[in-house]
Amino acid sequence: MARSSIIADPRNLHVRPGEPADSPALRQIFLRARSLSWTWLP
């Protein structure tokens, strides 16, 4: 569980300059990456 969250992290940390970290687009990317990380679990 912890390993999958670490794998999904770098993707979520990409923030464009001037874009708020809590923007809907980044939130959607974060949720999508987190749901993908769950499918990677055996």
Tell me the DSSP string of the chain.
Answer: -HHHHHHHHHHHT---TT--TT-HHHHHHHHHHHHHHHHT--
Per-residue pLDDT tens over the stretch 7-32: 555 555 555 566 555 677 777 877 88
CB 18, CB 36: distance < 8 Å: no
- Residue 35's pLDDT is 77
pLDDT score for 12: 55
CA-based radius of gyration for the chain: 11
pTM over 0.85: no
- For residue 21, the model assigns a pLDDT of 58
Q: What is the pLDDT of residue 40?
A: 62
Specify the pLDDT at position 16: 59
Distance CA 41, CA 34 (A): 11
Count of domains observed in the chain: 1
Domain containing residue 28: 2-13+20-39
